Structure 1
Amino acid sequence: KMTLTDAISVLRAVEVARPNSTYELVIRTAMSRGAPIPTGRINLPREAKPRKEYRILVFAEGRQADEARRVGAHVVGGLDLVEAVAEGKHNNCTTILCTTSLIRSISTKLGRILGPRGLMPSERRGTVTDDIEGYVQRLQGTTEWRGDKTGTIRMPIGKMHFPVEDVVKNVKQFVLNVKRATGNLKDAVAEAEAKAQKGKNKINAITRILLSSTQAPGIQIKDI
């Protein structure tokens, strides 16, 4: 076990000839029975990699459809859009949102098509929402992170050439974000996020936090 700054120093020494190598933060959580796979979104103080370009499709009607278009959704429509999606005409979309009034019809017709691709809107993931405007704005300014089925979360957290203080800020911000999302921290932000994503009331206890790099093994961090 090491402090965060000591671990950064060790990894820098290992990667001295590779200044563009990446620090990776690994957070292991205990998957309690019934707990969802940890997931969330974050805006790091300094991005470790180019932010993903999103292409957003929204199932909405009326005022909510107008909002979606205004904030930059690429494809917007109601039930008239179902057939086009089923035929694969919008396969380049990376995120699909749906309002609560349309989700039942959408699920019946598109569940088997979008589900296997991880694109089916769901309340648990926050992609079934009546706050289309807010979701699109958050999506465009953040990066998604997601744990695997064992509850392990991996996140590129900085480059070797970053100043130490930038790496430290990124690590602390990401750990704070994960603690909120996994139920390990209760504050106003965490409560607001829990309300937005129904069903996330189980706690995934954090068991270990490690910092690694391309060529070096993970170092357990003791002071976060």
Structure 2
Amino acid sequence: MSTLSSICRQCYRSFASPAAPLAARQFSTSPVALARQVNKIPVLSKKALAAKAKKRALKARKNIYEHEKMTLTDAIAVLRAVEVAKPNSTYEIVVKTAMTRGSAVPKGRISLPREAKPKTEDRILVFAEGRQAEEAKRAGAHIVGGIDLADGIINGRHQATTILCTPALIRAITPKLGRILGPRGLMPSERRGTVTDDIAGYIRRLSGTTEWRGDKSGTIRMAIGKIHFPVDDVVRNVRQFVSSVKRVTGNQKDTESDQKSKSVKPVNAITRIVLSSSQAPSIQISDL
């Protein structure tokens, strides 16, 4: 019995009673399951993707100056200390505006006391006829013509960085080009001064200015100086640029243009002004 105790029960019964019939092996008749099931990746909607990106941004690590405000001179001192080994680094100013629905992209021109980088050449298109068209050509306009230029802009044949128009033609081109040039910030308007009878004078003023332009969210970025610039030069550049942005966005009254234009300027509130450099953190400015 000691040897039989090490045998399993089923074998022991077969050994103990050899006359008993052997048990038949039972086979499963269930369907064969797939070896691997591939789960489909759900396609997220735009709203879900935006919420996911917002959560990721909130979890991202912020720099130590994220919620701290400084005066302009203190911020410049911090950036100069961080960039002490790179005197050719560039200061960049970022102005964030609260873009309301249907408002135009902020855009303007400025002549800084000390330019941070070489100026780029503008390609100027002018809607004018007669004497004004001849004056525009002599002043240096690249493309000059009447209403027939609208079709060339629509099909992309005429490319320009600045578009001017005389008051006599603005009503004729607005129905054709309003939806095309408006979102790009190129539509001539009285508020911006690009609808004028003095086309030649406007073109001459362009040669000494630099264009700044915001994006669709209302964020304006511009190189405002070099680290090796004296502090006073950077301060003058920043204050003059912010003043230009405030006039265009309606946060600061410009008496001359307000008297010429009868329309009321819509106000795009400025929510934040940030100064940064190539390697240094972004610092919010409190006294602008």
| TM-score of Structure 1 vs Structure 2, range by shorter chain | 0.7 to 0.9
> Secondary structure of the equivalent of 2:126?
strand
Counterpart of 1:5, as a letter, is T
CA displacement 1:182-206 (0-9 Å, x = unmatched): 22223xxx13234566756122222
Q: Give the AA of the match of 2:243.
A: L
Give how far 1:63 is off: 1.9
Equivalent-residue separation in structure 2 for 1:86 and 1:179 (angstroms): 32
Structure 1 residues not aligned, in runs of 5+: none
8 Å Cα contact 2:276-2:283 kept in structure 1: yes
What is the deviation of 1:166?
A: 0.8
The 3 A distance-change label for structure 1 pair 69 and 201 is: same
Alignment TM-score, normalising by the size of structure 1: 0.81
| Runs of at least 4 residues off by over 6 Å | none
Larger RCO: 1 or 2 (CA < 8 Å, sep 6+): 1
**Equivalent residue, structure 2, for 1:219:** 283
Q: Are the aligned partners of 2:88 and 2:227 in contact in 1 as well (CA < 8 Å)?
A: yes
Aligned with 1:135 (options 202, 217, 224) = 202
- Give 1:173 shift: 1.0
1:184 to 234, 239, 251: 251
When residues 204 and 94 of structure 1 are mapped into structure 2, their CA distance, relative to the original with a 3 A threshold, is: closer
* Structure 2 counterparts to residues 66-105 of structure 1, below 5 A: 66-79=134-147, 81=149, 89-91=157-159, 93-105=160-172
Q: 1:193 is aligned with what amino acid?
A: S
Counterpart-to-counterpart distance in 1, 2:230 and 2:209: 22
Query: Is structure 2 residue 139 aligned with structure 1 residue 57?
Result: no
Whether the aligned pair in 2 keeps the contact of 1:73 and 1:136 (CA below 8 Å) is yes
Question: 1:168 aligned to 232, 235, 242, which one?
Answer: 235
Q: Distance in 1 between matches of 2:183 and 2:248?
A: 24
SS in 2 for 1:181: helix
The whole-number CA distance in structure 2 between the counterparts of 1:196 and 1:107 is 20
Task: State the 1:11 CA deviation.
Answer: 0.8
Write the distance in 2 (CA, Å) between the matches of 1:205 and 1:112. 24
Structure index of larger Rg: 2
Q: Note the residue ranges of structure 2 that are not aligned, 5 or more in a row.
A: 1-68
Q: 1:38 to 1:110 in 2, by over 3 A?
A: closer
CA shift in 2, pair 1:31/1:57, >3 Å: closer
Distance (Å, rounded) in 1 between the aligned partners of 2:255 and 2:278: 36
Q: Which of 161-170 and 29-38 deviates more?
A: 29-38
Per the normalisation by structure 2, the TM-score is: 0.65
Residue 207 of structure 1 is matched in structure 2 by: 271
- Number of residues of Structure 1 aligned to a counterpart in Structure 2: 220
